[in-house]
Amino acid sequence: MITNLESLVAPLGETEFLALLRERRLMFLPGCGARRFETLLTWEVLNHLLDSATLPLGELRVLRESVSVPANFYLKHGRVDPVALSKLLDQGISLIFNLLDEHVPALRALCKSLERRTLESVKAAAIVTSGPGGALKCHYDDEDLVVLQIAGTKRWQVFNSPIVNPAPGVAKRTAPEGHTPVFDEALEPGDFLFLPAGHWHHCENGPHRSLHVSIAFVPPNGRHLMKALVSQLSSDETFGRPLTRAGSAEALAAHESALKSRLVDAIRNISLDRFLRERAALHPVEGIQLEGESIRRHETPV
């Protein structure tokens, strides 16, 4: 059963994978065992979630080549209509289920374990595809991804000239044209792909319905540090004083000096090690029960 980094990346060792993560190097591991990743997710579990009345619909994306399908095509009375969704999938529409770790105990346990090991934010998503086309146009992700092929096949093309350290919230660049892929393989059940952030890629569906899990690693960076610093300073009385009510040029200059002094002190006191440890402590990992989950089987996957 896959419960931690060691069992996830085998036959790679932890040290080897952490080096890939640090250097953001592409890695493909074929033939890790056709049913190996079924301990994390199966068609039955996914169908159970889609049939649940408590499913947060905001976490679903139904689309083809980055174009979303209107919700009325697959929802009925505010819930997923499995028959309608299955017909869409047969026509080449894809399904992306984000934040899947919040709903599947095995994935939740794994992501929490990976967070403890890496001090990064780790989330999981499921992608279901079939028929012609792909879910998204050629694009890159801001996160480093571990792709676990569970069922069916999917062709991945990864291109050169990656975006270095892409940042969320920044306008995406235009996809390169005419480039020869540096990686072009059809992933089969049990295959493992590490796709670093910023790598342009496009997927083509195989002849049968495909299911893969994507585990995203989001490392903290200087932007996170600055947000924490701003949050810390926002409670400082010096930063709460109105700038337009100084009363005189001298008072405004004195206030400016006080602000600069406080900023300099805060910056001098920055400790990256302390920041990372405090950040990790804000997200304690509670105990997770993996046994006893009852899953109803559907005759047809999704």
pLDDT > 50? residue 300: no
pLDDT > 60? residue 202: yes
pLDDT (tens digit per residue) in 168-197: 777 677 777 767 899 999 999 999 999 999
pLDDT > 70? residue 66: yes
Band (pLDDT 50/70/90 cuts) for residue 17 is very high
Q: Which pLDDT score, from 0 to 100, does residue 283 have?
A: 59
Band (pLDDT 50/70/90 cuts) for residue 282 is confident
pTM of the entire predicted model = 0.84
Three-point CA angle 128, 132, 138, nearest 5°? 75
Q: Which pLDDT score, from 0 to 100, does residue 16 have?
A: 97
Q: Compute the average pLDDT of residues 159-167.
A: 87
pLDDT (tens digit per residue) in 71-115: 999 999 889 998 999 889 888 888 999 999 999 999 999 999 999
Q: How far apart are CA 143 and CA 166, in angstroms?
A: 8
Q: Which pLDDT score, from 0 to 100, does residue 288 have?
A: 33
CATH of domain 5-218: 2.60.120.650
- Phi/psi zone of residue 56: left (φ > 0), alpha (ψ -120 to 50 degrees), beta? beta
**Where is average pLDDT lowest: 13-22, 116-125, 286-295?**
286-295
Return the number of other C-beta atoms located less than 10 Å from residue 268's C-beta. 7
Q: Which pLDDT score, from 0 to 100, does residue 27 have?
A: 96
Q: Which pLDDT score, from 0 to 100, does residue 264 have?
A: 95
Q: Burial-class residue 85 by CB neighbours within 10 Å (0-12, 13-18, 19+).
A: buried
Q: Which pLDDT score, from 0 to 100, does residue 133 have?
A: 66
Angle, in degrees to the nearest 10, between helices 222-234 and 272-281: 80
Q: Which pLDDT score, from 0 to 100, does residue 137 have?
A: 84
